[in-house]
Structure 1
């Protein structure tokens, strides 16, 4: 494994996800107050970010499998970070949606290329490499809520212009590995065309549905838990943002552990156990707060997100001829589904109350656990490979 390349990919993934899936949901309360929005309008901001990323990632992935372009790696990260920074200058709600959508589009271009680069640099440690890459992304998501006190107490939305610094750092990281990536990309594409095995479209479709359920759990906690704890238990937003960070940080640890295990254990089993182990914590979460809530959020985040890297490697196993498309579907579609879930939960909150959102969240890991039972077990393929 080319460790320096994998860690650089993970670092660039952290910066990308910090300015997209990390900050955009966390900025929702600030956007809500600044532009005088309701829950549905606020969740629409998240939808625009997530949906543009979701739609574009599989398209960029399919495009990359047929005609790879190394320049999409730095340009994608440049666009995602610059789009969020410009949202600090948005004079109205419509331009805010435009800048956030631009950021999502850049993220959509970045992810398939970065995931392919990680796959190329992984050697025989595909699970470990994807774990490092995905932990980078999850770390960015977890750091987003910690940024909020800066904007709430000091700068307001104009403070987002400081994220031009992230743009510069991201360009530095991606250009560091650009020559290696460019030189090896064509050779990798030739190997993919010669690979044995057929794409398992049905299994990938089922896998994507499970990823959607997992994504709805994540966005439901990240976006609506601060509102829920503020309204039901009187918790201040800056404190509930710390709870969100703890949930996502536990998920980052789970992502690394799950990816590490996927080099040794069947990926279908890891995914199934991650869903099943999440069920008791999702059932308890709506009824606890304070220190008890932390005791629930830590294992909940660990288990529900422990399959993050696993699903990427598993999809690449199921789509051996379309590595970038597999990444676009598992990372991109899951993110976009989170945006759809945000609007769905926002509408529920406006009409049925925040508690109903958490009742829905209780059911999602159960459905994911049931559906994972019908995925093909990759143990036989592993045994054949090792023999």
Structure 2
């Protein structure tokens, strides 16, 4: 039997397609949501920015992607366009690469914004392609796809200590390699995806179940809360460790990488469990398990901090793939819109959180930001409790 709101699907997981889409997702998020927060110190020193201006760079990247993803998703649910898959990845990687030669702060914001739009076009198409290639293993397929993105975000944290600090902002031109790799991966997938979209249109006309808009709104708020946790640590943990404990940016970026790498492991395990357990329960448990580590986060540093960051990253991001599949369950007639809301609007709204945290840091200090982060998993747990439980549908599938 199939889940509520599902359509007939092929039983086999197309591993080649799913892993290729995961690789494309890695490249996209490496040079957008991954490297942009890591580049904050470099952009700050190059363009002589304050915390608010630095967080505005992150906001432009996240917000343009955030706004455009559900719009692209809603549009392509009605009018599928296979070419948006390669074009979106091309724009996101190319424009970030060109920030290496941006003449001033205004050009930097423009290129970052276009890169965000490219990411906004890429994500709904790539997530839909993953769903089309998933067969009956939707959770596992989304886990592979999302681990690609999470791995890209984690690797982005290593760009600064590896070579960007020594090469300066012009070192970003080396990301032209990612542009080329992205064209190769999406170019190979394009014929398959174009053909699959025709079959997808027929299957959507046969879909059963109604969209549950109220539950989707609540789910998106939970995703935003989770995103604020992630972006708060990705952007501000290096600054916090530097100014509070005297840690070097290189070492602090490595700690951020460990947090995100643990999240990538959690994403894969959580997504795999989504094929066997109620998705609402996985989301709730991930938030509840994050609470003790969030409460300890502002007070530990050095080796002791790793005992907090590793489980915190694992649990808080273990619902990443789950929320995509869960939203598709709640929006059975709008698969791309569901992906755009959870991967795009929800996660991209973290850029708003980055700007809020930046202004808060300028006004009252970095320590207050981490006191706010302490209580976000508590809020996420309370909201997750009121989401509809899909246990009955999982048991009958």
Q: TM-score, normalised by structure 1?
A: 0.99
Matches within 5 A, 1:36-47: 36-47=48-59
Which residue of structure 2 lines up, in the alignment, with residue 276 of structure 1? 288
1:172 and 2:184 correspond = yes
Which residue of structure 2 lines up, in the alignment, with residue 118 of structure 1? 130
Asked if structure 1 preserves the Cα contact closer than 8 Å seen for 2:42 and 2:165, the reply is no
In 2, the alpha carbon distance for the partners of 1:337 and 1:11 equals 24
- SS of equivalent residue, structure 1 residue 265: coil
1:136 and 2:161 correspond = no
Q: Which runs of 4+ in 1 moved over 6 A?
A: none
Moved more, 9-18 or 188-197: 188-197
1:16 and 2:28 correspond = yes
Alpha-carbon offset, residue 236 of structure 1: 0.2
Alpha-carbon offset, residue 347 of structure 1: 0.5
In structure 2, which of residues 328, 340, 343 is the aligned counterpart of residue 331 of structure 1?
343
In 1, the alpha carbon distance for the partners of 2:201 and 2:337 equals 13
In 2, the alpha carbon distance for the partners of 1:346 and 1:201 equals 32
In structure 2, which of residues 62, 74, 99 is the aligned counterpart of residue 62 of structure 1?
74
| RMSD (CA atoms) | 0.7
In structure 2, which of residues 382, 385, 394 is the aligned counterpart of residue 370 of structure 1?
382
Asked if structure 2 preserves the Cα contact closer than 8 Å seen for 1:25 and 1:46, the reply is yes
In structure 1, which of residues 286, 289, 292 is the aligned counterpart of residue 301 of structure 2?
289
1:201 and 2:213 correspond = yes
In structure 1, which of residues 81, 88, 91 is the aligned counterpart of residue 93 of structure 2?
81
Asked if structure 2 preserves the Cα contact closer than 8 Å seen for 1:53 and 1:335, the reply is no
- SS of equivalent residue, structure 2 residue 82: coil
In 2, the alpha carbon distance for the partners of 1:154 and 1:234 equals 21
Which residue of structure 1 lines up, in the alignment, with residue 63 of structure 2? 51
- SS of equivalent residue, structure 2 residue 349: helix
1:157 and 2:169 correspond = yes
In 1, the alpha carbon distance for the partners of 2:376 and 2:204 equals 35
Asked if structure 1 preserves the Cα contact closer than 8 Å seen for 2:154 and 2:257, the reply is yes
Alpha-carbon offset, residue 270 of structure 1: 0.1
- SS of equivalent residue, structure 1 residue 68: coil
Which residue of structure 1 lines up, in the alignment, with residue 395 of structure 2? 383
Moved more, 169-178 or 321-330: 169-178
Alpha-carbon offset, residue 331 of structure 1: 0.3
Alpha-carbon offset, residue 334 of structure 1: 2.1
Which residue of structure 1 lines up, in the alignment, with residue 278 of structure 2? 266
* Unmatched 5+ stretches in structure 1: none
In 1, the alpha carbon distance for the partners of 2:268 and 2:348 equals 23
Asked if structure 1 preserves the Cα contact closer than 8 Å seen for 2:225 and 2:377, the reply is yes
Which residue of structure 2 lines up, in the alignment, with residue 305 of structure 1? 317
1:4 and 2:13 correspond = no
Which residue of structure 1 lines up, in the alignment, with residue 326 of structure 2? 314
* Unmatched 5+ stretches in structure 2: 1-12
In 2, the alpha carbon distance for the partners of 1:153 and 1:371 equals 41
